[in-house]
Structures are given as structure tokens and as C-alpha cells.
């Protein structure tokens, strides 16, 4: 039974990305298709790598982090190390997001305070204008 292979347009269509994006990931050495003349032939491993890249991007991983995870992929010996690394990166990303959320909440409080002061100053200015007119 032959392994599944894909053309660049097959992968682009199936994963809803552009062929240009796929070529970019290839340039970054995150994919390694075979060549038949000018045609690129992508393997099931390339498809898995692309899915991992896209998932990583959605959750805020850098390309370097995605590349590290892809390089840990080992279908022969299992992906235990890849999964542990992935879990560690998920925990790091979650901590970053929690800190960003706290930062946003603090900024909202500061905006509320600035807005209240501006409104109070405007009300005071309006009151003075009424008195002097």
C-alpha cells in the first residue's frame, strides 16, 4: 500500500491556506517535499507538519517554536518527547496570556480613572463657564 502524497494545491485546498504560505514554510525548512521535475510532492509527514504549524500559529507560537515541535516528530519511535514539549509550550503560552489579561485589566482601570478625571474636569470647566457668563 503506497503512502499518501499530496500536491501543493491539494494541501492548500485541504488546509485552506495559500500555496505561497506552503512554499514559505518549505523555505523555512519546515517541510521537505520530494521533487519530480518542477512538481512538489508532499508526504503525510508534511501534512502533519503543516497542521502543527497552523495550530501553533493559532495559539500564538512563533515559527521557531513550531519548527522545534516538528523536528521532534518521530512516527517510528513515538511522539512522547514532542507531546511533552508541546505541553510545556502550552503552559508557557497560557501563563503569557494570563499576564496579558492582567495587564489589559490594569490598563482598563487606568483608562477608567483617566476618563473619570477628564469628565470631572469638564464638568468643573462647564460650571465655571456658566458662572462667568
pLDDT digits (tens, 9 = 90+) for 21-63: 999 999 999 999 999 998 999 999 899 899 999 999 999 999 9
**56 and 100 in a common domain:** no
* Residue 70 reports pLDDT greater than 70: yes
Mean pLDDT of all residues in 2-19: 90
- The three cell numbers locating residue 46: 508534511
Contact between 31 and 46 under an 8 Å Cβ cutoff? The reply is: yes
**94 and 46 in a common domain:** no
Q: Band of the pLDDT at 3, cuts 50, 70, 90?
A: low
Report the distance separating Cα 59 and Cα 53, nearest Å. Answer: 10
Which residue segment(s) compose the domain that 50 sits in?
1-71
Q: Is the pTM of this model over 0.85?
A: no
pLDDT for the residue numbered 129: 81
CB neighbour class for 53 (10 Å; exposed up to 12, middle 13-18, buried from 19) = buried
Q: How many CA atoms lie within 13 A of 25 on its CB side?
A: 28
Query: How many CB atoms within 10 Å of residue 24?
Result: 14
**66 and 1 in a common domain:** yes
E strands in 16-115: 34-36, 39-43
* Residue 75 reports pLDDT greater than 80: no
CA angle (22, 24, 29) in 5-degree steps: 95
Instruction: Return the SS3 of 92.
Output: helix
Q: Band of the pLDDT at 1, cuts 50, 70, 90?
A: very low
pLDDT for the residue numbered 73: 76
**42 and 107 in a common domain:** no
Q: Band of the pLDDT at 72, cuts 50, 70, 90?
A: confident
Tally of structural domains, the chain: 2
pLDDT in tens, 79-121: 888 899 999 999 999 999 999 999 999 999 999 999 999 999 9
Amino acid at each position: 500500500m503506497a503512502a499518501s502524497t499530496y500536491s501543493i494545491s491539494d494541501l492548500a485546498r485541504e488546509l485552506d491556506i495559500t500555496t505561497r504560505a506552503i512554499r514559505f514554510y518549505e523555505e523555512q525548512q519546515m517541510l521537505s517535499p520530494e521533487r519530480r521535475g518542477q512538481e512538489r510532492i508532499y508526504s503525510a509527514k508534511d501534512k502533519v507538519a503543516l497542521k502543527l504549524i497552523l495550530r501553533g500559529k493559532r495559539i500564538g507560537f512563533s515559527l521557531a517554536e513550531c519548527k522545534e515541535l516538528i523536528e521532534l516528530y518521530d512516527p517510528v519511535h513515538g511522539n512522547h518527547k514532542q507531546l511533552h514539549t508541546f505541553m510545556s509550550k502550552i503552559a508557557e503560552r497560557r501563563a503569557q496570556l494570563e499576564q496579558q489579561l492582567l495587564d489589559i485589566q490594569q490598563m482598563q482601570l487606568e483608562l477608567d480613572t483617566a476618563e473619570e478625571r477628564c469628565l470631572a474636569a469638564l464638568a468643573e470647566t462647564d460650571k465655571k463657564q456658566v458662572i462667568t457668563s
